[in-house]
Amino acid sequence: MTTTWQHTTVLLTEAVDALLGDAGEDADTQTPMTYVDATFGRGGHSRLILSRMPKVAKLIAFDKDVEAIAEASAIEDARFSIRHEGFRHLGELPEGSITGVLMDLGISSPQIDNPDRGFSFRFDGPLDMRMDTTRGQSVAEWLATASVDQITEVVRDYGEERFAFPIAKAIVARRQERGPISSTADLAGIVANTVKTREPGKDPATRTFQALRIFINAELEELEQALEASLQVLQPGGRLVVISFHSLEDRIVKQFIAKHSKEVYDRRAPFAVPQPMKLKSLERIRPSDAEVAANPRARSAIMRVAERTAVLA
């Protein structure tokens, strides 16, 4: 029997409202518009965008997950297209051609809940964690050869885990004693036996699994590349909407928007005309209490919205 994994899109209406602004389906415009859903997932944002954007507009989606690509194939709308690649490829779109970019950085519920994907410590499955299962190295393959120092660095930097060194030592010791770690249950057990204290209600393996997922998919590097690319592809007045789910992501987004929301002066030429700001920060939104109650996975979400200024670099 085939299991249908359900996903509830976080900040659905708020994100689409912020992306479209005044350019709703009833907008009196014949101006070509192109929007980007940079992380299609299971298509919640894309479907609402399609239902509300002007009829002359187009929507381009990106996703690395083959299951997301299969989900997208069910959308029968000539205005929609999807690319099987990560959103680091956003910069390949024509300069100044995009009206709005939406990035939902959260991992989808089907990815978490399907044991075969290896993202969750709650279900035993192969230790994979790749967003794109058609390419790249799995977590199990990386852990089979990584040194204590390499594992420590990843778990510490991407998981903000204060027990990173003892976790890394335990992983390598277990590998040397009994062979490669190939399942999520094995890894979760190693971490649980190593981390003796943890915040109430939080599994000891939470930070380690987060760190390995971020690392194996190069998530933070891809986010930085996509944000920079957004400056090139957005039209003046175009919207950038980013939903993040942990502090590492949100810090990158916050600092990026802040950096480009001010004029830049060249200290070596104090009388030179400053470089104009490239973005205008608009708002920061958190899920409502009602949304968090209905979908606890929304509790850590932060959405930041910015607008491309009239001057293109």
* The residue to which tokens 């987060």 are assigned: 210
The per-residue pLDDT for 266 is: 56
The per-residue pLDDT for 188 is: 93
> CA-CA distance, 137 to 215, in Å (whole number)?
11
CATH 1.10.150.170 residue ranges for the chain: 132-216
Specify the CATH class of 12-109+219-308 in words. alpha beta
Nearest to 298 by CA among 120, 113, 107, 50: 107
> CA-CA distance, 280 to 261, in Å (whole number)?
5
Give the residues across from 306 on adjacent strands.
Answer: 240, 281
Nearest to 100 by CA among 40, 15, 25, 9: 15
Nearest to 213 by CA among 249, 253, 169, 240: 249
Residues 6+ apart with CB under 8 A from 304: 241, 242, 244, 250, 253, 254, 257, 281, 283, 284
Q: Encoding tokens for residue 132?
A: 């794109």
> CA-CA distance, 126 to 110, in Å (whole number)?
15
CATH 3.40.50.150 residue ranges for the chain: 12-109+219-308
Give the residues across from 60 on adjacent strands.
Answer: 36, 81
The per-residue pLDDT for 313 is: 44
Q: Give the neighbor-by-neighbor strand order of the sheet with 34-37.
A: 80-83, 58-62, 34-37, 98-104, 234-244, 302-308, 279-285
DSSP state of 126: B
| Fold topology of 132-216 | DNA polymerase; domain 1 (1.10.150)
Task: Give alpha helix (H) positions in the chain.
Answer: 12-20, 44-52, 66-72, 109-113, 139-143, 148-159, 164-178, 184-194, 206-216, 219-233, 247-259, 289-294
Q: Encoding tokens for residue 217?
A: 């998919």
Q: Encoding tokens for residue 59?
A: 């929507």
Q: Are strands 98-104 and 80-83 parallel, antiparallel or unpaired?
A: unpaired
> CA-CA distance, 226 to 221, in Å (whole number)?
9
| Radius of gyration from C-alpha coordinates of the chain | 21
Per-residue pLDDT of the chain (313 residues; tens, 9 = 90+): 344 446 688 999 999 999 998 765 555 556 789 999 999 998 999 999 999 999 999 999 999 999 899 999 999 999 999 999 999 999 999 999 999 999 999 777 667 767 778 777 777 899 999 999 889 999 999 999 999 999 999 999 999 999 999 999 999 999 999 999 999 999 999 999 999 777 776 889 999 999 999 999 999 999 999 999 999 999 999 999 999 999 999 999 999 999 999 866 556 666 555 567 899 999 999 999 999 999 988 999 999 999 999 764 4
